[in-house]
Structure 1
């Protein structure tokens, strides 16, 4: 006999504030139980207007059933193998009722990198509402449902060490609440959050500009827009027990991609990643005339960056640093640790830094990196032969006499052996004399493979706007 949770129907007079957990046995009338492959709940915008009660549906994917989900609940584990890692994916606020567009790609990517259980936590009935506060008020109830299921897993022999929760938008705080219920013993939490903007909409003129704010008038209601990034509304300034916190799991990593809007700017995890400084993301509209993408693009970028980390050809390296400016100026090239360890990698493999971070006081760092405009977001510039790719991550540097300057160069492929290097420098001036730049010492060090020998070059003279090619040599053993 199967069972699942079902909520009361929403009141026709407004968003429902009720959440019931009725245990139904079998039954043809039970939602989704007769589906061969249960799918994510699809709701209409009407549901968002009238509101929905809470119903949490769990869908299991494994390498045995990578495209056809299996319905599971707090009494039925299905094909779930408790000896393997289990990854929960928890979505957030859904103001239109539509399924997240990234669900299928994330399931496919996770199963491609590891043989695990992937559980999609579908609480669309509850998250679908035009009133952000109503969805937020249900997060602890969702966490309670997940705890009941995890308790069953533990009773069957699962380990908290093998439980990984990926929370998007409000889902990140749900993951945090679950972690608190287990005193921070969950294996890992990855947070990608959301904010809300309330725009009042009336009837009449199709487009109007008021105080540089773009508003579209269509129907008489209140519309709430959303985007991915650490949650601002209802969570800014909250104590750790009311939001995601580094102590909610053995390892907590967070991606911030829109801190200059209504996102959460402050660190929330053991390591907080700030792509492009956490500000406007490349390729996203810069003005309100970009339509809905202006509101969503920056925030959704965090999910797509995580998806890129599941690709074999795109490992995005991040650099621990106090600020984005310091990172861009090459002041954080030692990764914040000894030169025997590689820099942290964004996304799925970020937990390679777990042991190091747990030794810190406090065990928290911020890490910065730059991305390209399109998927998979690795920066690449093809060389003239088309055989390699590289990226420069530094702002224009100021060269002063007897001063050391650090620059970052990133490559999409591993360069084990460097045969030659070419350099060109420019002052940016179109008039006046050409300058010379004398380099007393140049040192190249691999951040991805710090164990490799460092390469050097000494007493090198560069002419402005003239390419200089040279062969590097091994640096002396002594510390430079």
Structure 2
């Protein structure tokens, strides 16, 4: 039995046969779509987001844009919404550090529990409608494609891959994928998953590989925090599973990277297997790179870094301090 069939079986059993749940919908690939909304946040309207509508171009023209400033696009994952991770971690960090334009994508209505299988199909529609919005902004409202930086968590990371398939204005400048989702994305078809071709620069963080997140390298630079599978300090609670905690660390680490003066410094290793069997420690790299918001575009390859078990998570330079 293939991995995908096993995943379908597992999800159906664990989620009460969501394949046949009347509340689970897969809308047709038509944009704009009432199930997908876009919200602009700036320092001027941080608590009163402005809705952007392709069907109402005045909503774009009259929005409180910070002119010539970067545009950060945040995409949530399964069961998320505009006031859920990664928005709750990353949006406040940007508001504190910089006067940026933040566009939050909300597709909650087509990513509800227990409808994971449908949600994995629906993110193609989300990517398509987001591409329509960006094309409208670039082609008719004098925005530059280089202004856009897309940051997606879990299913949101995979959504960014679909976005690139439909974008007509050119190639995205940067995608940052935060523990991109694994279930139903174990495929060799690059059109159905995130990969390094989806933007001029794609950086990926892995925090719960082999469970909720992918182990496979998916970008120009892939970072595995604490080995990329489990995170220190995570445990099961009444509100969250251990795996859910590991997965949720991805947007938390990224948000901290925006403001930290300590920094998440990572070292290169040939592969994840090489790291796991300890060869990277036997032959440590003298190269150290910074992960997160301020990553250098020259950074390519596979990297590993350690974190603290509680905030602040960044540990700074391992080479300078002699820590491992």
1:151-166 alignment, distance < 5 Å: 151-154=135-138, 155-166=140-151
Q: In structure 1, what is the equivalent of residue 113 of structure 2?
A: 129
Cα distance in 1, alignment partners of residues 269 and 21 from structure 2: 52
Q: TM-score, normalised on structure 2?
A: 0.81
Backbone CA RMSD of aligned residues: 2.9
Equivalent pair of 2:75/2:86 in contact (CA under 8 Å): no
Distance 1:328 1:281, change over 3 A: farther
Residues 82 and 106, structure 2, Cα contact 8 Å, conserved in 1: no
Residue 369 of structure 1, aligned match among 296, 305, 308: 305
What's the CA shift for 1:180?
A: 3.0
Paired with 2:64 and 2:154, the residues of 1 have a C-alpha distance of 28
1:409 aligns with 322
Residues 236 and 137 (structure 1 numbering): CA distance in 2 closer, same or farther, change over 3 Å?
same
* 2:53 paired with 1:62: no
Q: Deviations over 1:68-97 (max 9, x none)?
A: 2111121221123452211110001118x8
Which residue among 343, 349, 365 is the counterpart of 2:294? 349
1:22 and 1:239 map into 2 onto residues whose CA distance is: 24
1:282–1:373 CA contact under 8 A, matched in 2 = yes
Structure 1: 5+ residue stretches without partners: 1-10, 24-52, 193-228, 336-342, 358-363, 381-390, 394-406, 412-480
Q: CA deviation at 1:98?
A: 9.6
How many Å separate the matches in 2 of 1:249 and 1:101? Answer: 23
1:318 to 266, 289, 298: 266
Q: Give, in whole Å, the separation in 1 of the partners of 2:205 and 2:144.
A: 26
Alignment of structure 1 residues 54-453 onto 2, 5 Å: 55-74=35-54, 75=57, 76-77=59-60, 78-81=63-66, 83-94=68-79, 99-154=83-138, 155-182=140-167, 185-192=171-178, 229-285=179-235, 292-322=240-270, 323-324=274-275, 325-329=278-282, 331-333=284-286, 335=287, 343-350=288-295, 352=296, 354=297, 356-357=298-299, 364-379=300-315, 409=322
State the alpha-carbon separation in 2 of the partners of residues 118 and 70 from structure 1. Answer: 11
After TM superposition, the score normalised by the length of structure 1 is 0.56
Q: Does structure 1 retain, via aligned residues, the 8 Å contact 2:260–2:314?
A: no
> Hey, which of these two has a bigger chunk of helix by percent?
2
Residue 6 of structure 2 is matched in structure 1 by none
Which residue pairs with 2:8 in the alignment? Answer: none
Distance (whole Å) between structure 2 residues aligned to residue 181 and residue 98 of structure 1: 23
User: SS of the counterpart of 1:176?
Assistant: helix
Tell which has more relative contact order, 1 or 2 (C-alpha 8 A, sep 6+).
2
Rounded to whole Å, the distance in 1 between the matches of 2:263 and 2:86 is 19
Shift of 1:102: 4.7
Q: Shift in Å at residue 238 of structure 1?
A: 3.2
Which ranges in structure 2 are unaligned for 5 or more consecutive residues?
Answer: 1-19
User: Does the residue aligned with 2:258 lie in a helix, a strand or coil?
Assistant: coil
Distance 2:279 2:52 in 1: 48
> Is the contact made by 1:62 and 1:117 (CA closer than 8 Å) also made in structure 2?
yes
CA distance in 2 between counterparts of 1:80 and 1:98 reads 19
CA contact (8 A) 1:85 1:117 kept: yes
Cα distance in 2, alignment partners of residues 270 and 20 from structure 1: 30
Deviates more, 1:369-378 or 1:255-264: 255-264
Q: Is the 8 A contact 1:257 1:302 kept in 2?
A: yes
Q: Distance in 2 between matches of 1:190 and 1:83?
A: 21
Question: Structure 1 residue 178: deviation in Å?
Answer: 1.5
How far 1:248 moved relative to its partner? 0.5
1:378 deviation in Å?
A: 2.2
**Following superposition, which runs of at least 4 residues in structure 1 exceed 4 angstroms of deviation?**
19-23, 288-291
| 1:182 shift after superposition | 3.7
Please tell me whether the aligned partners of residues 20 and 54 of structure 1 are also in contact (alpha carbons under 8 angstroms).
no
